[in-house]
Structure 1
Amino acid sequence: MEQNGGGRKKREKPNILITGTPGTGKTTMASALAEATQFCHINIGDLVKEKNLHDGWDDQFDCYLINEDLVCDELEDLMEGGGNIVDYHGGDFFPQRWFDRVVVLQTENSVLYDRLTKRLCTSQSSKLGLCRQQISLTFLSIWQGLYWAETY
């Protein structure tokens, strides 16, 4: 690997972060791109479950409480080599140096609502309210956390 202008080693293959609100098609896009490029697809949700990179279960949101330090420790060496497509609904805890490109997926609210209602929510109104709240918080954290991403 050669040095780039910033003193960091330049990877032969880029790392790509695909992010966006749940239901926008991140996993579908990441899988297709990984297949086309022969890059490694890393779904952070799956990685957290498989490697126990969490601090337990959140009953309110029906998800694992991700341990960001454990995730970063697990990925550090892999990301340095390049050729990875990371699939996650946020990105604020990843080191900026890991990614050469960031793709933020969006979709129309009506499409997103239908997808998430089917995937995440039961018919109970309290659950639906929690899902709406989670969607809003996730979208806000994406935009706040990715201030460093270059656009192309």
Structure 2
Amino acid sequence: MSKSLNNLQPWGAFFLRLVLGIAMIYHGYSKVIPASFHGNTFSALDHHSHYVAALGLPYWLGYVSALTEFIGGILIFLGLLTRFAAFLIACNMLVALAMVTRHHGYSGSEYALALFVIALMLFFYGAGACALDRKIGFA
């Protein structure tokens, strides 16, 4: 039984990779792509950067955060540069987790904590099955 479950480990990482990738693309998209097609991308990024600055963090970190979520999510979803993208996302989620718990306590931090743990798992164990990393020799 244990051996057959061990054979499924790459598929476990694959499904976690898809979940994290979709979640990060979804959250990053709203920060990078404007809600109105008449606006420009920088207005959406500026809005997020102002929010980050209001939390007491550097303004430029808002740009880094949004782009990490969006581009990192795409990379994770594809399984491309997985460990690098997972590390950046884990750092991003750690900052988000610290900010949420600092302002609201533990309540509401479960989602960021779950994304942080998934990103750490992908960082330590790799992309799993069906990853572009395997095709190009990064796995």
TM-score strictly above 0.5? no
Q: TM-score, normalised by structure 1?
A: 0.27
Higher relative contact order (CA 8 A, sep 6+): 1
Q: TM-score, normalised by structure 2?
A: 0.29
User: As a proportion of its length, which structure holds more strand?
Assistant: 1
